[in-house]
């Protein structure tokens, strides 16, 4: 069995955004040449997520609205975590959108269901953050 590791770096200028990272992950898989195995993709920050869903702008708008309904950014004073920072909502949003995804590799490709794409979910942007990609297999 072989294993490969890569960090993908992001600097999202806005506080929140969803970034489709499927192409970057799939290019790394091609570089590694693994034909059968697993890919783990995880956010390395506790205010960002990695998740799989559809690349459809209406859905991304719905996520944004739903997450703001659940954990609004303002007023920042509503959260105990916000003693000296303002990102409590980002920790909560990350929790519900998840830390990581695992994708099967079959015949050298990510074995997705229909419309599945991998996203980086940023909830406290404006700085450098990263995602870990780990590939194991042969
Ligand atoms: Zn925090």
Share of the chain above pLDDT 70, in %: 100
Q: What's the CA-to-centroid distance between 8 and ligand 1, angstroms? A: 22
Beta bridge partners of 89: none
| Separation of CA 104 and ligand 1 centre (Å) | 33
How far away, in angstroms, is 124 Cα from ligand 1 center?
A: 9
Q: Which pTM does this prediction carry?
A: 0.96
- Taking the centre of ligand 1 as the mean of its atom positions, its distance from the CA of residue 42, in whole angstroms, is 18
Reported as a pLDDT band with limits 50, 70 and 90, residue 81 is very high
CA distances from 86 to 10, 22, 97, 106 (A): 20, 30, 19, 43
CA distance 58 to 19: 14
Centre of ligand 1 from the C-alpha of residue 92, in Å? 10
Residue 75: cis peptide before it, omega within 30 degrees of 0: yes
Q: Output the pLDDT for position 38.
A: 98
Domains detected in the chain: 2-137 (2.60.120.460)
Are 125 and 14 a contacting pair, CB within 8 Å?
yes
CA–centroid distance, residue 74 to ligand 1 (Å) = 15
Q: How far is the CA of 81 from the centre of ligand 1 (A)?
A: 7
Average pLDDT over residues 70-96: 97
Specify whether the CB–CB gap between 94 and 49 falls below 8 A: yes
Angstrom distance (rounded) from CA 19 to CA 5: 20
pLDDT, one tens digit per residue, over 7-62 is 999 999 999 999 999 999 999 999 999 999 999 999 999 999 999 999 999 999 99
């Amino acid at each position: 069995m072989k294993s490969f590791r890569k960090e993908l770096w992001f600097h999202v200028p806005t506080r929140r955004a969803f970034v489709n990272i499927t192409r970057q992950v799939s290019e790394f898989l091609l570089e590694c040449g693994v034909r059968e195995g697993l890919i783990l993709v995880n956010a390395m920050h506790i205010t960002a997520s990695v998740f799989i869903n559809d690349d459809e702008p209406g859905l991304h708008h719905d996520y944004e609205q739903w997450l703001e309904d659940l954990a609004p950014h303002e007023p920042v004073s509503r959260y105990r975590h916000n003693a000296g920072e303002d990102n409590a909502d980002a920790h909560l949003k990350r929790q519900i959108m998840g830390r990581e995804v695992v994708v099967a590799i079959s015949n050298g490709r990510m074995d997705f269901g229909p419309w599945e794409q991998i996203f980086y979910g940023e909830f406290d942007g404006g700085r450098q953050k990263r995602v870990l990609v780990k590939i194991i297999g042969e």
